Amino acid sequence: MQFCRDTFSQALTFYRKQQKLSQDHFAQELALNHPMFEAVSQSILSKWESAKQEPPLIKRMCIANILGQSYNLNIEEKNQLKHAQSLDLQHQKFQNIYDYQYNKLESIPWSKLDVAEKGLIAKAHLNLTHETLTSTINNFENLDLNMIKVSYNDVLLGHCLIGRNSKIEIVLSLVFTNTEVLKVLFNQLESYIKEKVIIPAFTQSANYFLKYMQYDLIETHSILPFYIMPVDDIKNNKLLRYFIEGEDDSTLKSFALKE
C-alpha cells in the first residue's frame, strides 16, 4: 500500500491501523505535535479516511511522512510543487511539512549511528554546504566524534556533529528544520563545550554575522569559513542569541544601535 492522491484514504487507514492507533488517538497526536494539524479532530480524520474530504497536498505528504512512508507525486502534484518552489517567499515565515514539535533529544557517539542514518546526515550536510561531510571532518585531526540529534519519533529534525580533540570542540555539521530545533541544538551544545568552540559559517548570512562580531577566523582547507569563539558568548552574547533565535536583520540592527 503506497501513499498517493488516488489511494490516500486507504493508505491512511492501513498505516494508522498498522501502528495500532485509533482515529481519535492519531488525530490528537497530529494536533498536539504539529502546528499544521492543530484543528484536526477525529471527525475530520474520519472524513479523510472515507474519502469524503481530501486534505491539501502538503498535509497528505506530511501524514505519509509521520507514518514513516513516502508519498508518490502525480504529474499535477509535481508541477504544483515546482511552481511553489519557484516563488520568491520568505519561507521561514510559513509552516512546512517538517515543522514538528520534537519529542526526542539524544547525544550519541558517531560510531553508534547506522549506515543509513550517517548517509542521511551526510546528504543533508552536502546539500547545505556543498562540501562532503568527510571533507569537512578531514580538516581536523584526531577527533572524537559525537552527534546531537533532535527528532520527532523517528523523523530526524536536526543534528549537530561535534568533533573533540585534546584542545577544543569543533562543530562540523549543523542542519536544522526550524529555529526551535536550532535553539535546542545550541542549548545542548552549550553544556557540551568546555571553554572555546570552533564553528563554521554554514551560510553567507552567518559568515557575515560572525565576521562582523570580530571572531577569529582559523585557517583550514575547507570551503567553509571556521571561526573560534568562547562558549560564554553562546550563552551570554545577546546579539548572538538574537541571531541563533532567528531574528531578522532589522531587529539585529536595532539591537546593535541600542547597545
Looking at 93, 122, 140, which one is the last position of a domain?
A: 93
Within a domain: 130: yes
Residue carrying C-alpha cell 536536526: 158
Same domain, residue pair 197 and 79: no
Same domain, residue pair 149 and 251: yes
Structural domains in the chain (count) = 2
What DSSP string runs through the chain? --BSTTTHHHHHHHHHHHTT--HHHHHHHHHHH-GGGTT--HHHHHHHHTTSS---HHHHHHHHHHTT--B---HHHHHHHHHHHHS---GGGS--TT-PPP-EEEEEEGGGS-HHHHHHHHHHHHHHHSS-HHHHHTTSSS-EEEEEEEEETTEEEEEEEEEE-SS-EEEEEEEESSHHHHHHHHHHHHHH-SSEEEEE--SHHHHHHHHHTTPEEEP-SSSS-EEEEEHHHHHH-HHHHHHHTT--HHHHHHHHHH-
Q: What is the pTM of this model?
A: 0.59
Would the CA dihedral through 206, 212, 217, 220 be positive or negative?
positive
Looking at 36, 64, 93, which one is the last position of a domain?
A: 93
Within a domain: 46: yes
Same domain, residue pair 75 and 115: no
CATH number at residue 24: 1.10.260
- pLDDT per residue rounded down to tens, the chain (259 residues): 889 999 999 999 999 999 999 999 999 888 876 667 878 999 999 999 999 999 988 788 888 878 888 888 898 888 776 665 554 433 344 344 445 567 789 999 999 999 988 998 999 999 888 899 999 999 998 899 999 998 877 778 889 999 998 778 999 999 887 777 888 888 888 888 888 889 888 777 677 777 767 788 988 989 899 999 887 877 776 666 666 665 544 444 444 443 3
Strand order in the sheet with 104-109: 104-109, 144-152, 155-164, 169-176, 196-200, 226-230, 216-218
Same domain, residue pair 75 and 195: no
Looking at 93, 124, 148, which one is the last position of a domain?
A: 93
Within a domain: 16: yes
Range of the domain at 58: 8-93
Within a domain: 2: no
Within a domain: 183: yes
Same domain, residue pair 87 and 126: no
| Cα–Cα dist 175/182, whole Å | 8
Within a domain: 194: yes
Same domain, residue pair 121 and 84: no
Within a domain: 1: no
Same domain, residue pair 111 and 232: yes
Same domain, residue pair 133 and 214: yes
Within a domain: 191: yes
Same domain, residue pair 108 and 88: no
Same domain, residue pair 124 and 213: yes
CATH number at residue 201: 3.40.630
Same domain, residue pair 135 and 253: yes
Same domain, residue pair 88 and 125: no
